[in-house]
Amino acid sequence: MSARTFILDLVSRGRCCFSAKEASIALGLSGPAFRAALRRLREKGEIAMPYRGFHVIVSPEFRSAGCLPAAHFIPALMEHLGEKYYAGLLSAAEYHGAAHQRPQVFQVVTARNKAGISCGQVRVEFIARKNMDRIPVVDFKTPRGYLRISTPAATAFDLVGYSQHAAGLDHVATILVELSEKMDAAELQRLAELSPIAWAQRLGWLLDLVGKRSLTEGLAAYVSRKKPVSTPLVPSLPVAGLGRDKRWRVLVNAQVEADI
């Protein structure tokens, strides 16, 4: 079997990804001959290698980008690596219809730190969350199968908790305006148990800011029971001499404006 026949066979069976080991066995090649066969396909733009030992078949409509969209191959890559994942933060917000512009980087939450991916014009950022396997997710249908994404409420917590990966709190507040339309107040309260208390404090404050107080009564009760110390809205900024929101015990050390 030639290398091109191999990838055409995969495509005919609805496959868009393969491992180097699988290809080596199918082609009966190894070493320099195997690497040369794959290199020729890469030079023609027919395949790309977003991760060492893992290849994607690049269909004609994506060849100018040099890779398949991340959403098309991330599920297969994570299965190949034997790791759990979910698409989160700005990427999840986009799938929930709450992103005001397409994110430049596809964001994936995993249990441990991983180096990012750069493949053609496609960029993937991995964000570590130790208890990610307990975070609620939903399956979203893509042209290549199903992509696991965080629920709207879980996405909100991650956006606040990792705001440095979400273009700051102004952008987070803007997203929350639309994302909140799909949130469940009871789920917000349940998710607070899975997140640092400071995340719940900041998220509650932001939801109140954008006029979604109807969602935050349970969350506010949870924060009140925990009696947390006051937390700065933006941890990296000074807090001396600033106002304190009593409901959320938040030190308001930045002016946040949603673009609505």
Is residue 39 included in any domain, yes or no? yes
Packing angle between helix 197-209 and helix 169-179, nearest 10 degrees?
Answer: 70
C-alpha–C-alpha distance, residues 46 and 191, integer Å: 43
- Greatest alpha-carbon span in the chain: 72
pLDDT tens string 230-257: 999 999 888 876 789 999 999 999 999 9
C-alpha–C-alpha distance, residues 115 and 159, integer Å: 20
- Which pLDDT belongs to residue 128? 97
Q: What is the mean pLDDT of residues 63-71?
A: 96
- State whether 25 and 90 are in the same domain: no
Strand-strand pairing, 145-150 and 106-110 = unpaired
Higher pLDDT pick, 100 / 117 = 117
Is residue 259 included in any domain, yes or no? no
For residue 183, what are the domain limits?
70-251
Q: Which of 62, 79, 106 is the last residue of a domain?
A: 62
Tokens of 93: 């917000």
Q: What is the mean pLDDT of residues 149-157?
A: 98
- State whether 84 and 26 are in the same domain: no
CA dihedral sign, ordered 14, 29, 70, 137: positive
- State whether 179 and 104 are in the same domain: yes
Higher pLDDT pick, 201 / 2 = 201
pLDDT tens string 172-197: 999 999 999 999 999 999 999 999 99
Is residue 258 included in any domain, yes or no? no
pTM of the shown model? 0.93
CATH label of the domain that carries residue 12 = 1.10.10
- Which pLDDT belongs to residue 241? 66
Phi-psi region of 125 (alpha: psi -120 to 50; beta: other; left: phi over 0): beta
With a pLDDT cut of 90, the percent of the chain lying above it is 88
- Which pLDDT belongs to residue 239? 83
